[in-house]
Chain A
Amino acid sequence: MNFLTRLLFSGRVRRARRALAAEPTPRNYLLLAQLYSQADRALDAQRVCVEGLAAFPENIQLSRYHQRTKRAEREVRLGELRRELALAPRAQLWRELCEILIESDELARAEEELSRWLARDQNPEARYLIARVALARFYADRGRTQGRAALTALDEAIQHLPRDLRPLRAKLDFMCRLGAWQEARDCAALCLTVEPGTLELEGRYRTLSARCEGAPNFERALHEVERSGRLSGDGSGEEARASAGSVQSLLRELAAQPDVQAVLYVRGATALVQGPKGATAERTARSVQSILGGSRSAARRLGLGQVFQVQLEGAFGTLSIAPGEQDAGAILCSGPLGRAREEALLGMAGLNAATAGEGALP
């Protein structure tokens, strides 16, 4: 960035800071963070986002921008690591690179880097990271093939790291999430041989032993997860992140558009509906839930993985559904969906908002 541009930005940043001081709104926080980003001050941008999110925790735009700044920072670090690896490759750098890629869900890139690492030196740490990639794939897709691949990778990692608790714990969590309690108990026993006397592991072993009777085996549990798409413990212990209010305002905003017939937010067995009323609203919500279930199941069986969008077009108009991990947004309009509405819909998915209260369907 040249001197003139920096001077120009410093003036704009000053004005944005003054505006924020005078009126601390989410929009002003966002404007200041954007200006910092444009001026190559990523850390300042992140700081402003964090401050804004502390004041307005439910603001979707701010939280999305915060994620973007974090992603940009991650990309910078990835570039540095790659340059360093080209000059002097070593295990610590490979590990950091692959961990960043796994955490940011870039599994294909992580796999490429891991195979390069393994080709260079047969580091057992790489085997553990391969198992983590396979597990991430399974948790996203919940298909049988991915589940078997994850188990193979985990067993291989355990074989190469026999005194390391991490792959064993990963396998234990995997079995528990599947609901294969017998295999989970055996795994807890293995963990105890590595770290005997750990109270938490002993407690877990006892709980798992109590659950073993009549529990499905690994293959049966995997089949059940592929069929239902639900892992053990899904939707029970997780807190809703956004309130119903923030979603309802988004729904109202979308429903106000002239050709929009209905906007829905579905989470678990409940839904928020804007547009249709009474029995029609209930029927529409049930249909959306049913389409979503069928489409998720079809994608898993077809080996397509996690569903991002389902769109139906017909004499009724266009129904577009954007599913998140546990929730989904849906919009029914008489004309084409359009880019702006599609983006709003995709933003709605993954909010994990509470759906209790007014407008929620039982």
Chain B
Amino acid sequence: MIAFLESLSRLPGVEFVLLISHDGVPIAHAGGTSESAREESLAALAAAWLSDVSAAVAPLGWRAPERMCLRAARGTLVLRYSASASLVVLLGRETAPEDVRLSMDGTLARIERARTGRAQAADAAHRPDHGVAARAEPDAAIPYREDTLPVEEGVHPAAHPEHPPGN
């Protein structure tokens, strides 16, 4: 994930790149200093701004904006929204948001692909028919892992969980 962000952070004029969840938790960041306080405050403030704007446009029947730019005296904040996360980029004074539009879209698409790819691979690996047959029930909202029972060396798992071996 960080590798995707690093390519974006190397663009001229980009000061900080941050991937955040919709509730303002930082997922990954690249560029700038490694201050966790800054990362956390930027994530929280960007998510709060997205939430404010989404609430403001809701009476018009609009969904949350896909892209938001805030151009100000000391820099520009660009936020790109996707279904699973938001990509936040902080630009220097001289850089226009249009300069990073394509790169941001590309980075977010790669992140989404990586995420869905991983989820599908995990899903397919856990299907008994290796994902060939169609299942009756729909996929879960969040991919999950079915852990196998822990097996100690030389001890076989119990046939019934309510009757542990040795009892």
Task: Let me know if A74 is at the binding interface, CB within 8 A.
Answer: no
Q: How far is the CA of A307 from the CA of B49 in the complex (A)?
A: 14
> Which 8 residue pairs across A and B have the least CB separation, nearest first?
A305-B73, A294-B52, A304-B72, A290-B56, A298-B49, A312-B65, A309-B71, A314-B65
Cβ-defined contact, A305 with B74, below 8 A: yes
Residues B30-76 near A (CB distance < 8 A)? 42, 45-46, 48-49, 52-53, 55-57, 59-60, 62-76
List A residues at the B interface (Cβ < 8 Å): 140-141, 283-284, 286-287, 290-291, 294-295, 297-299, 301-316, 319
The one of A291, A304, A308 in contact with B57, judged by C-beta atoms closer than 8 angstroms, is A291
The secondary structure that dominates the B interface is: mixed
User: Closest residue of chain B to A300, judged by CB?
Assistant: B72
Cβ-defined contact, A307 with B71, below 8 A: yes
Count of A-B residue pairs with CB < 8 Å? 96
- CB-CB under 8 A from B76, the residues of chain A are 304
Cβ-defined contact, B70 with A287, below 8 A: no
Q: How far is the CA of A313 from the CA of B49 in the complex (A)?
A: 15
Q: How far is the CA of A313 from the CA of B59 in the complex (A)?
A: 17
User: Closest residue of chain A to B74, judged by CB?
Assistant: A305
Cβ-defined contact, B62 with A295, below 8 A: no
In angstroms, how far is the closest chain B Cβ from the Cβ of A325?
13
In angstroms, how far is the closest chain A Cβ from the Cβ of B65?
4
Q: 0/1 per residue, B69-89, Cβ < 8 Å to A? A: 111111111000000000000
Task: Let me know if B24 is at the binding interface, CB within 8 A.
Answer: no
Q: Decide: A314 near B66, CB < 8 A? Known: A298-B52, A302-B42, A304-B75.
A: yes
Task: Let me know if B26 is at the binding interface, CB within 8 A.
Answer: no
Cβ-defined contact, B49 with A295, below 8 A: yes
The one of B57, B71, B74 in contact with A312, judged by C-beta atoms closer than 8 angstroms, is B57
- CB-CB under 8 A from B67, the residues of chain A are 311-314
Cβ-defined contact, B57 with A287, below 8 A: yes
- CB-CB under 8 A from B64, the residues of chain A are 314
Q: 10 A-B residue contacts at CB 8 Å? A: A287-B56, A291-B52, A299-B70, A304-B75, A310-B68, A310-B70, A311-B68, A314-B62, A314-B64, A315-B66
